Homo-oligomer: A and B are copies of this chain.
C-alpha cells in the first residue's frame, strides 16, 4: 500500500460507518487493539455481503481469511463512529487482498491501515478454487 499518510477516505471505493460500543475501549481509554481487527472484519463482511452479494449458505464457494494485518497510527475511542474504507489490492487466481483504512470522526488522516486476504474455498472439497467470474468482475470495480 502507498504511504498511509497520503490516504484519504475518497481513495476507497467502498465506505461504511461503524458505531463503537462502550466495551470496545480498554483500560487505556481507547479502542482495544483487537477491536481494530473487529472493525476490519466488519467492513470486509459488509463488502462481501453487499456489493459482492456473497451468501455463505447458498453459494458453492466461500471466502476464507488467510492473513490480516493492522497498523496502528492514531488512537480511536468510543463514542466515536468509525468510518472504514476498503478497496481491492492484489487480485490473484484464488485470492484477493483487501486494503483497508479506519478513520476517526472529523479526522481525514487514517487512524489505522491494514489488509485482509481472502482465499475462495469450495464447499465440497474444502480446497481453494478460482474466484468465480461474476465475483471477480465485481471485485475489479473496487480496484
A: residues with CB less than 8 A from B are 18-19, 21-23, 25-29, 32-34, 37-38, 41-42, 45, 49, 56, 64-72, 78-79
Contacts and interface: CB of A to CB of B under 8 A. Distances in A.
B65 A33 contact: yes
Nearest to A30: B27
Contacts of A56: 27-28
A138 B78 CA distance: 24
A69 B72 contact: no
Contacts of A72: 64-68
Nearest to A20: B42
Nearest to A16: B19
B33 A21 contact: no
A41 B49 contact: no
A68 B33 contact: yes
Nearest to A77: B27
A16 to B, nearest CB: 10
Contact of A42 (B21, B42, B64, B66): B21
